[in-house]
Amino acid sequence: MQEVIPRELIEKALALTGKTMDDMCIYSDFWEDFSKEYFCYYLLSPEFIEKYKENVPMAMWNNHWVCYIIWDIIYEYQKWNAQPLIGLLSKI
């Protein structure tokens, strides 16, 4: 079973993009569910990347390098390894 990412980390990440938990929900007639796909999409958005770089400054980071790192972390998350994503979000 995949480790759950703490809600406060998700909310902090979404705040960088101007989104909320409500924006990450898929609604149907009978249920509501958090969309990991929407969340991962916003982690790769220009808004998140720019704000992340401001919050976690590193001189060598450029947009392409940050995108690569986030993409790789999302790949690990899809393989049921949430630790890299939790580590990334913990730095915000």
Is 14 a residue whose pLDDT tops 60?
Answer: yes
| Sequence ranges of the domains in the chain | 7-90
Instruction: Give the single-character DSSP code of 5.
Output: P
| Tens of pLDDT, residues 27-85 | 766 666 888 888 999 999 999 988 888 887 765 677 788 888 899 999 999 999 999 99
3-state SS, one letter per residue, for 11-60? HHHHHHHCCCHHHHEEECCCCEEECHHHHHHHHCCHHHHHHHHHHCCCCC
Q: Count CA atoms closer than 13 A to 70's CA, side-chain side.
A: 22
Distance CA 31, CA 61 (A): 41
Q: Is the pTM of this model over 0.95?
A: no
